[in-house]
Copies of this chain bind each other. A is one copy, B any other.
Amino acid sequence: MVALDANGADRGPRNVAEGGLRAGVPVTIFGPAAELEGFDGVVDAPVAITNDEDPARAVRAKPDASMVQAARAVKDGRAGAFVTPGSTGAALAAGLFHLKRMRGVHRPAVAVRVPVPGRAVLLLDCGANVDSRPEWLVQFAYMGAAYMEGVHGVKRARVGLLSVGEEPKKGTDAVVEANRVLRDGPLNFAGNVEGGDLMRGQLDVVVTDGFTGNVALKTMEGLANMLVGALKTEYTRNPLRYIGAAASWPVLRSLRREFDPRTYNGASMVGLSGIVIKSHGSADVLSFRNAIRVGLIEARKGVPTQIANLLSAQLA
């Protein structure tokens, strides 16, 4: 069972519910029943947490909010994961308040799979935190490796630490110190890597602080969108070019399939004692389906337990 928060989606709650149907998983939908007629498993929860509210305060002040109810469903064991298109801050706050931090974890992180052909790479933290401390970065490395093994069956995941140069002394003090600790540790550590290495297909996990990770992720999304837009403009500039567009259709379709961000929708909040999946707010039905499937897979594979085991081995 997956708990769905149907509030906070740009295209409305029915889109989220439709994604739940398509995922082929039993779901409980927390959202405004009035807008969700015809769907099974709806719990009326019209109250939403908005982007303008302070996340921690809103989660405490609104126990009936759909997101909070979804988090409680996971806490009480009624659901194996909760999936929300709401704000990252609120999802994190709901996770911290109701599911709690995993024992020994300094900070949870948002982990996103970046679509690199042949070898998707897990980037974390993509925005759960804005500050950076060496011990957080080290834990992100462990959690990322455990995630890739637990969910994607990658043994000894290759882990890179994002910096401004490959030499171990390059980067902020936090990065230099995290490099030193990871270098001496048991992980399959690739050392410092640079922004361009994210796409090079040599890594399974890239670790960075939440500020840098968020900027890098959104920069990638922005650039990919811009290039697609530029391609469209060029192809429609004059009728002769329609031939090129038509003849290129199979190519563009393959590329699109490979890079379709909808396939990769569903960021995981790792480091919590329960599964929280954040979907893009602008997601369509297919995207929601994929985010829900991420939650289902993590629940089946018991990802929090796997991460806890690797971390306790580290702490031991």
User: Across the interface, do A244 and B248 meet the contact criterion of CB distance under 8 Å?
Assistant: yes
- Encoded as 1 (CB less than 8 Å from any B CB) or 0, chain A from 184 to 209 comes to 00000000001111111000000010
Q: Does A181 contact B (CB under 8 A)?
A: no
Distance (whole angstroms) from the CB of A139 to the closest CB of chain B: 19
Once A231-B251, A235-B251, A248-B244 are accepted as A-B contacts, the answer to whether A219 and B222 lie under 8 Å apart by CB is: no
Instruction: Report the separation of the CA atoms of residues A243 and B244 in the bound assembly, to the nearest whole angstrom.
Output: 8
- A163: chain B residues at CB < 8 Å are 211
Choose from B172, B211, B224 the contact partner of A227 (Cβ within 8 Å). B224
User: Across the interface, do A247 and B243 meet the contact criterion of CB distance under 8 Å?
Assistant: yes
- Encoded as 1 (CB less than 8 Å from any B CB) or 0, chain A from 226 to 245 comes to 11001100110100110111
Number of interface residues of A (CB under 8 A): 57
- A175: chain B residues at CB < 8 Å are 211
Which residues of A come within 8 Å of B, CB atoms? 116-117, 127, 130-131, 162-164, 170-172, 175, 194-200, 208, 210-212, 214-227, 230-231, 234-235, 237, 240-241, 243-251, 254-255, 258-259
List, sorted by A's number, 13 A–B pairs whose CB atoms are closer than 8 Å: A130-B170, A162-B215, A163-B211, A194-B214, A195-B222, A196-B219, A199-B226, A200-B222, A230-B258, A234-B251, A235-B248, A244-B248, A247-B248
